[in-house]
Amino acid sequence: MFKSVVPVLSQVPAELCLGQQNRGMATLKAISIRLKSVKNIQKITQSMKMVSAAKYSRAERDLKQARPYGVGAQQFYEKAEVAPKEEDSKKLYIAITSDRGLCGAVHTGVARYIRGELAQDPNIKVICVGDKSRAILSRLYGKNIEMVANEIGRLPPTFLDAAKLCNAILNLGYEYTDGKIIYNKFKSVVSYQVADIPIFSLKSVESAEKLPVYDSLDSEVIQSYLEFSLASLLFYTMKEGACSEQSSRMTAMDNASKNAGEMIDKLTLTFNRTRQAVITRELIEIISGASALESKD
């Protein structure tokens, strides 16, 4: 029977046969290429998840050691009841982010908080620690950015990095009365929140009501403590931000791997259905040609 099919197929225009075959093959080829690319993306996201998990465990250990720096530095301002003078207030906000992405809404949360404050008070000056906050804030509030610190997030932050940043802020030339350090406070593996820590200038601390409680405090001692406390707070907030970033990146890469797996399943099902449809159509054409030949005979 199949020998008699050849003359029938020869009577069908060659362009029509090739067009149908090419359409089916092109669809299968496109699905196959996309399926392969999604599988490669899944391998990348799984690898990034494993790397982030290792970095997160180290960042969590470092954060436990760095928390006394932040808690201790805030005790002095709370006990002395330091408050800024409202009549001549110059605010400085320090945004703690990093240069690296693919970590959910870690950086956008800090930038959103600062944008809300700048909408109420456009005279606030901002220091961006990390290129991500600069990229977000420079679109609308580029004039408010006083300084940008890059190369943040590639390696775990150290106290030396915080000391260098503190020295750059103090030598910036902008005399602020008070301000805030805005950062991401780590809560759990899947949870973090945007928080802030107040900072004050020498004049604000010297005018505190309960400052006489501490004995033998002159301007030099207070200035030295303010420099050390600012470095300690920067170190603490950078550790909090690094731990929140790694946990968020680990969660984001896990979700990306799951989404890639679901897409692979859908593409595989589509590929199999398309291949089966092509095979079925070819069989129908062969059977129809054979039936037409038999009916002529």
Q: Over the stretch 223-253, which tens digit does the pLDDT of each residue have?
A: 888 999 999 999 999 999 999 999 999 999 9
Query: What pLDDT score does 153 carry?
Result: 81
Q: Does 103 reside within a domain?
A: yes
Query: What pLDDT score does 86 carry?
Result: 66
Query: What are the tens digits of pLDDT across the range 169-209?
Result: 999 888 888 899 999 999 999 889 999 999 998 888 888 87
Query: What pLDDT score does 72 carry?
Result: 87
**Bridge partners, 13 (sequence order):** none
Q: Does 115 reside within a domain?
A: yes
Q: Does 78 reside within a domain?
A: yes
Residue scoring higher pLDDT (207 or 19): 207
- Alpha-carbon distance of 201 to 214, in angstroms, equals 18
The beta-carbon contacts of 30-36 under 8 Å, at least 24 apart in sequence, are: 31/267, 31/270, 31/271, 31/274, 32/271, 34/267, 35/264, 35/267, 35/268, 35/271
Number of separate domains in the chain: 1
What is the chain's Cα-based Rg?
A: 32
Q: The pTM is what?
A: 0.81
Query: What are the tens digits of pLDDT across the range 103-151?
Result: 888 999 999 999 999 999 999 999 999 999 999 999 899 999 999 998 8
Q: How many CB atoms lie within 10 A of CB 72?
A: 13
Q: Does 207 reside within a domain?
A: yes
CATH number of residue 236's parent domain: 3.40.1380.10
Q: Does 71 reside within a domain?
A: yes
* H or E element, residue 251: helix 219-296
Q: Does 161 reside within a domain?
A: yes
Query: What pLDDT score does 297 carry?
Result: 62
Inter-residue contact 243 to 36 (CB < 8 Å): no
Range of the domain at 152: 63-247
Residue with tokens 């405090």: 217
Q: Does 122 reside within a domain?
A: yes
Q: Does 288 reside within a domain?
A: no
Q: Percent of the chain at pLDDT above 70? A: 90
